Structure 1
Amino acid sequence: MRAVLEEWIKQRESWKPFWVRGINMVGYSINGLHPVLFSSQADGDDDGIRAAPPPPPAEPAVPPRHRGHLHLFKKPLHRALSGLAATHGPVLLLHFGSRAVLHVTDPAVAEECLTDHDVTFANRPRLPSSCHLSNGYTTLGSSSYGPNWRNLRRIATVEVFSAHRLLRSADVRGGEVPHMARWLYLAAPAAGPSEPARADVKARAFELVLNVVARMVAGKQYYGGEGDAEAETEEAARFREMVREYFAMHGASNLQDFVLLLGLVDIGGAKRRAVKLSRERNTWAQRLIDEHRATATAAAATEARTMVGDLLKMQASEPEAYSDKVITALCLTGTDTSSSTIEWGMALLLNHPAAMAKARAEIDRFVGTGRVVEEADLPNLPYLQCIIRENLRLYPVGPLLAPHESSADCSVSVAGGGRYAVPAGTMLLVNVHAMHRDARFWGPDPESFSPERFEGGRSEGKWMLPFGMGRRRCPGEGLAVKVVGLALATLVQCFEWRRVGDEEVDMTEGSGLTMPKAVPLEALYWPRPEMVPALSGIFFIYNFFY
């Protein structure tokens, strides 16, 4: 049956609205015509709480009492939902199959959900596609609010991403970012304006972030070593693919999560791929732990300069709190987020050379050309910080954040007074992408790239949420900002950059949890003559110390 359905859908892709309607109807039949969780009426009750936000028109083929919006389910999902909000309002009730979804583009309502109702919305929805990818909803990002999540969050906040840990790992970032510049220089030592080299920016950014994370986690380095810039081990290549698959499959844009029939017959083999990917990721993480445990010496245990080293040391005294399962859950953190932000940042600067020149002039003024920029220099580069903020505004790490789910009935306020009732079990999607591009907050041209909008505190008080809010706020925010800032500063300082063609870089957004670029970024570059001595010095310093 699965093969027949797959072939039928493949041959009739242009009929997609039709077959989604059909599958939607069958899905409701199998689910026993799940009752609607919200009424679409706006009548108030005695306490002034209205029954529901207004839904957009539901799927015409679905009976009125069993509305569905899967016919609106298009990728990238954040763009499709932004269009709905622009037409129907900033607080919408949707039904993805039998699941009620509250879609929010109003900053005040989002803040209320994630602060006033922080505990209520601290759960994660148990989406079928996430089950295998998260080891049965046991990772930090997927676990619902409870003892397991609190233990993981405590370890992540205190042991992994604390200010002390970030300070101790500064030498890792201070080695790997110049190492990336060294790779680029060695690949094109004689390149110039007339004969520039070509860089796969997406690949270089991913390799940088993977090296930083791997060295912080387990003292490993996947790229560089004694090979050239293009060398890639089999383990590194497979890990790159695992990260790509994970973020492509994860999120709130899988039809299989909302239509029972698709999950039962596994159309497209999504479940099989998730099981295989989960097995590979667990094997990779356990191998890191076993290797670290096998090679650890008493001196190394005392030194404990890696996350795994620290956690294994604590495991001896608290085996349950720091079990291999817990360490594995923390090892399986995202690598694609920071690398995607670096890629988006370089794409924006390539399309806006005046901003790149302004950032380079600032770096030359405060750092000079006699050395490569360092992490300690970043607070002295205010325009670079404006670029990073504008980058995160236009291309946030998670355009819909990670989905939340209400654990109890609550209500949220609406513009003009009154409140909407939100029953337990409602999935919350906060459309950060839409909020960050709202002309009410960002002026008449919110889609444009303008770091100057952040200069002089002009955007103080404006609502930005690239890393979430409340208990589920991303604990790796500090690390991400440091890596992105140092990477962009180094690339701008050390090299001249140019687009591959005369046309602007394609800024089309792809689908996935982290909104990757649909077209991977490539660019032309050559070393700045005044930076060649410093770049040559990286070669000798890195070989000596690393």
Structure 2
Amino acid sequence: MDAAAGSADAPLLLLAVSSLVILTAIQSRRRRVLRGAPSPPSLPLLGHLHLLGYPLHRALASLAVAQGRPGVSAAAPVLSLRLGARRALLVSAHAAAVECFTERDAALAGRPRLLARGVLGYGCTDILWASYGDHWWTLRRFFSAELLSASRLAARAADRRAEVAALVDNLLRDATDGATPLMMVTLRPRLFEFVINVMLRALIGVSLHGSDAARWQEIVEESVRLNAAPSVGDLYPALRWAILQGGTGTSMLTIEWAMAQLLLHPEAMKKVRAEIDTHVRTARLVEESDIASLPYLQCVVKETLRLRPVGPIIPAHEAMEDCTVGGFHVRWGTMILVNAWAIQRDPAAAWDAPDEFMPERFLDDGGKVTTAAAVPMLPFGVGRRRCPAEAMAMRLVSSMVAALVQCFEWDVGEGRTIDMTEGGGLSMPMATPLAAVCRPREFVKSMLSAST
């Protein structure tokens, strides 16, 4: 009887063992499928906050390099971080960034609700920080159709041209008011007035000057500084008091960085000026329509955007659902931090001498400017949340740099140097605003008189 009972229990035992083996295999496979990105050692409560520093983009780049695999990659393409109570995925490789904003674009199109963004972004309802959904799509369509479409930009070209001419005229007047046509110029306030007036003309048809423009600059820079700053409440949702950091990031900063690079590389400035003198000559002010005929100028702007991106960390995305990036599991609610600064200096991403200012790198063998798809850059982001104002920004930066080089001789000044230190915050201004000696070229006064 015992033998009969044993033989009767054998199938049940075999079934139990088989089920256990299958269940173990499934769980093991699921663990492999849900494997998260590698993560550095963390501390209780702080997570990885102790590994961060100023400037943030450099600290994150160093962290990625420290976690890279020798002989495989200089920097870890993706890292899993814990910033206080928040999960974050740090992306430091171009391929991983493209995957985030193409294949995983819909899953990662959310925005984290951060304290300063909620206050300054009207409860996270503006186009930059609005949650992905119907409201964001309505804003996107409005901006794309009513303000930033090709037809709208073309219709406002005369306004932008007038503001370029106004800045040149103001510089000319200030330079010629003195005993000699030489003047030390701090560019940032003048560039801010130029950019804000272009925006105001497009929105409400008015412009600001003098003290009004200066006051607006204070308001905008303070707002951007606060908007760029994380708070304790962002990292520990139970707490709601802020620790603010500095920073600002607008088109004026890119123009300022471009002029600083040209001052440090006078041969590059001579090439830009010679190109403009050849194609535009000196009878009129360079215009937006001329930019297509100025390939070296285009390369200077591209190289500035690569080397000195004023948005070194792409505005944070948030995972709206579980997904994978680079083969690693990303949980819903994870904040996505893409380090554009690191990607655009990555020697493994087809950049020769990545820390050097070399505009020629964007020219192909035929002397034509390489297309955006051919280079691992993302200064305006990628995917559906790519900056909608990219076309306007490129027009503003290119036309203003061209006008400053066309109309004035620039010099650092005797015994002076340019401080290329990067400012703090999530944007990347020059820590010390650029100041340089400005001397009008002989034809500028007559050129402006003929154009009015």
The residue aligned with 2:215 is 238
Instruction: Please state how far the C-alpha of 1:45 moved relative to its aligned partner.
Output: 2.8
Evaluate the alpha carbon distance shift between residue 477 and residue 406 of structure 1 in structure 2; reply closer, same or farther with a 3 A threshold. same
The residue aligned with 1:51 is 35
Q: 1:448 aligns with which of 350, 356, 365?
A: 356
Q: Is the 8 A contact 2:175 2:181 kept in 1?
A: no
Mapping 1:271-310, distance limit 5 Å: none
Q: Which moved more, 1:71-80 or 1:375-384?
A: 71-80
Evaluate the alpha carbon distance shift between residue 459 and residue 255 of structure 1 in structure 2; reply closer, same or farther with a 3 A threshold. farther
Distance in 1 between residues matched to 2:166 and 2:99, nearest whole Å: 44
Distance in 2 between residues matched to 1:254 and 1:355, nearest whole Å: 42
Residue type at the aligned position of 2:196: L
SS class of match (1:379): helix
Deviations 1:110-169 (A, max 9, x none): 111111111111110001221101111100001011111011011011111000100100
The residue aligned with 1:160 is 147
Distance in 2 between residues matched to 1:391 and 1:370, nearest whole Å: 28
The residue aligned with 2:197 is 211
Mapping 1:67-216, distance limit 5 Å: 68-88=47-67, 89-189=76-176, 196-216=182-202
SS class of match (2:397): helix
Residue type at the aligned position of 2:201: R
Q: Is the 8 A contact 1:98 1:258 kept in 2?
A: yes
Q: 2:339 aligns with which of 421, 425, 431?
A: 431
Distance in 2 between residues matched to 1:170 and 1:150, nearest whole Å: 27
Residue type at the aligned position of 1:246: S
Evaluate the alpha carbon distance shift between residue 520 and residue 103 of structure 1 in structure 2; reply closer, same or farther with a 3 A threshold. same
Q: Is the 8 A contact 1:199 1:523 kept in 2?
A: yes
TM-score normalised by L of structure 1: 0.72
Evaluate the alpha carbon distance shift between residue 177 and residue 463 of structure 1 in structure 2; reply closer, same or farther with a 3 A threshold. same
Mapping 1:503-518, distance limit 5 Å: 503-518=416-431
Instruction: Please state how far the C-alpha of 1:336 moved relative to its aligned partner.
Output: 4.7
Instruction: Please state how far the C-alpha of 1:458 moved relative to its aligned partner.
Output: 7.7
Distance in 1 between residues matched to 2:358 and 2:426, nearest whole Å: 25
Q: Is the 8 A contact 1:500 1:522 kept in 2?
A: no
The residue aligned with 1:36 is none
SS class of match (2:185): strand
The residue aligned with 2:328 is 420
Q: Is the 8 A contact 1:185 1:535 kept in 2?
A: no
Q: Say if 2:277 is the partner of 1:364.
A: yes
Residue type at the aligned position of 2:382: M
Distance in 2 between residues matched to 1:384 and 1:96, nearest whole Å: 41
Q: Is the 8 A contact 2:56 2:426 kept in 1?
A: no
Instruction: Please state how far the C-alpha of 1:75 moved relative to its aligned partner.
Output: 2.1
Instruction: Please state how far the C-alpha of 1:267 moved relative to its aligned partner.
Output: 5.7
Instruction: Please state how far the C-alpha of 1:195 moved relative to its aligned partner.
Output: 6.0
Distance in 2 between residues matched to 1:217 and 1:513, nearest whole Å: 27
Instruction: Please state how far the C-alpha of 1:511 moved relative to its aligned partner.
Output: 2.1
Residue type at the aligned position of 2:222: E
Residue type at the aligned position of 1:441: A
Deviations 1:7-45 (A, max 9, x none): xxxxxxxxxxxxxxxxxxxxxxxxxxxxxxxxxxxx973
Where structure 2 has 5 or more consecutive residues not aligned to the other structure, the ranges are: 1-26, 68-75
TM-score normalised by L of structure 2: 0.86
Q: 1:525 aligns with which of 438, 446, 449?
A: 438
The residue aligned with 1:487 is 400
Instruction: Please state how far the C-alpha of 1:509 moved relative to its aligned partner.
Output: 1.1
The residue aligned with 2:321 is 408
Instruction: Please state how far the C-alpha of 1:502 moved relative to its aligned partner.
Output: 3.7
Deviations 1:292-330 (A, max 9, x none): xxxxxxxxxxxxxxxxxxxxxxxxxxxxxxxxxxxxxxx
Distance in 1 between residues matched to 2:312 and 2:145, nearest whole Å: 27
Distance in 2 between residues matched to 1:129 and 1:267, nearest whole Å: 8
Instruction: Please state how far the C-alpha of 1:459 moved relative to its aligned partner.
Output: 5.3
Q: Say if 2:236 is the partner of 1:249.
A: no
Residue type at the aligned position of 1:200: T
Distance in 1 between residues matched to 2:386 and 2:136, nearest whole Å: 13
The residue aligned with 1:303 is none
Residue type at the aligned position of 2:35: A
Q: Is the 8 A contact 1:206 1:336 kept in 2?
A: no
Evaluate the alpha carbon distance shift between residue 458 and residue 161 of structure 1 in structure 2; reply closer, same or farther with a 3 A threshold. closer
Distance in 1 between residues matched to 2:79 and 2:342, nearest whole Å: 14
Distance in 1 between residues matched to 2:229 and 2:111, nearest whole Å: 11
Evaluate the alpha carbon distance shift between residue 502 and residue 445 of structure 1 in structure 2; reply closer, same or farther with a 3 A threshold. farther
Instruction: Please state how far the C-alpha of 1:253 moved relative to its aligned partner.
Output: 4.2
Distance in 1 between residues matched to 2:404 and 2:159, nearest whole Å: 17
Which structure would you say has the larger Rg? 2
SS class of match (2:301): helix
Instruction: Please state how far the C-alpha of 1:251 moved relative to its aligned partner.
Output: 3.0
Distance in 1 between residues matched to 2:347 and 2:235, nearest whole Å: 33
The residue aligned with 2:6 is none
Instruction: Please state how far the C-alpha of 1:531 moved relative to its aligned partner.
Output: 2.9
Distance in 1 between residues matched to 2:28 and 2:262, nearest whole Å: 51
Per residue, is there more helix in 1 or in 2?
1
The residue aligned with 2:378 is 465
Instruction: Please state how far the C-alpha of 1:518 moved relative to its aligned partner.
Output: 1.0
RMSD (CA atoms): 2.3
Residue type at the aligned position of 1:99: R
Instruction: Please state how far the C-alpha of 1:504 moved relative to its aligned partner.
Output: 3.6
Distance in 2 between residues matched to 1:67 and 1:210, nearest whole Å: 40
Q: Say if 2:257 is the partner of 1:344.
A: yes
Q: Is the 8 A contact 1:191 1:527 kept in 2?
A: no
SS class of match (2:337): strand
SS class of match (2:123): coil
SS class of match (1:188): helix
Residue type at the aligned position of 1:436: Q
Q: Is the 8 A contact 2:85 2:237 kept in 1?
A: no
Distance in 1 between residues matched to 2:200 and 2:376, nearest whole Å: 33
Distance in 2 between residues matched to 1:443 and 1:468, nearest whole Å: 19
Residue type at the aligned position of 1:152: L
